[in-house]
Amino acid sequence: MSMTSPALSRNPMFKDRAKLTPRDEQILHDMASPNAVPEAPMTIEGTIVRSVLSFVVLLIGGAAGWLLVGNLLTNPGMVNVVFTVSGIVAFVLALVNIFKREPVPALILLYAVSEGVLIGGLSRMYNTMWDGIVIQAVAGTALVIAITLALFASGKIRASRRATKVFMIGMFSYIGLMLVNFLLIWLVPGMNPWGIGGISVFGIPLGVIIGILVVLMGAYSLVLNFDYVQRGVANQAPAKYAWSGVFSIMLTVVWLYLQILQILGIARSS
């Protein structure tokens, strides 16, 4: 799952200037005071460079996870260890990075490695069951990102207060549904492996229908990420905050990929 990091949403450097609170204005004043150490401003180019670096690290971790799980397919116990360790490390680092007021590049790159190992291993498991599904998921994710970026760059889609409110309602509803689904799979004997997602409605698995809606939410999450980065550049936020934007984008892309992978898995198993 993904939401814009509080490191962005709470920072006045990423807010609309017309909506700043007195406290926000004081923080900006302190940052611009003569005694403050001048820093290079955040730029789109700098954010792109940091994004490329982070995703390369994510892919390296993914390749390691793919190979590691591939070599352990005959040993389910060790596969579970890989998933458990990488999952816990990625989760803890995600929380640390989400709530840190100032980004720490090393922690973001460590998150990318651990998340990559987890995703790479999971992708290998999916590809073992459904050959070619990973390429389809990667292509689908790239397509969603490309379309969203093109629409945002052209000005045809923008973040708005109403859309963001709907997004947040949808996000919390989705989290609640996933918790219920997890409990059903865990507690109900003979339950479909996909839980609620395996139930068909007019011949279409409910998981596919819900998944498509969640992908649309993921695309809007990307719009929020792009919007915050654009504001940071316009407000001349210090260059280090580009890492906050990169981290939020990476969270969303990972979420999108996993959701598309799940949609394809449900569709191909039905």
Please say if the pLDDT value at position 41 is more than 80: yes
Please say if the pLDDT value at position 1 is more than 50: no
- 202 in any annotated domain: yes
Looking at residue 94, its pLDDT comes to 95
202-225 mean pLDDT: 93
Is residue 114 within 8 Å of 92, Cβ to Cβ? no
Q: Convert the pLDDT of each residue in 244-261 to its tens digit.
A: 999 999 999 999 999 999
- 226 in any annotated domain: yes
SS3 content of the chain, % helix, strand, coil (to 5): 80, 0, 20
Is residue 90 within 8 Å of 115, Cβ to Cβ? yes
Q: What's the total number of domains in the chain?
A: 1
Please say if the pLDDT value at position 17 is more than 80: no
Axis crossing angle, helix 44-71 with helix 76-99, rounded to the nearest 10 = 160
Average pLDDT score, the chain: 88
Q: Which domain holds residue 72?
A: 6-269
- 27 in any annotated domain: yes
Looking at residue 2, its pLDDT comes to 44
Q: Which of 98, 147, 127 is nearest to 251 (CA)?
A: 98
- 63 in any annotated domain: yes
What is the reported pTM? Answer: 0.87
- 55 in any annotated domain: yes
- 124 in any annotated domain: yes
- 193 in any annotated domain: yes
Looking at per-residue pLDDT, the higher value among 245 and 28 belongs to 245
Is residue 266 within 8 Å of 196, Cβ to Cβ? no
Return all residues near 63 (Cβ < 8 A) that are at least 6 apart: 116, 120
- 1 in any annotated domain: no
Please say if the pLDDT value at position 195 is more than 50: yes
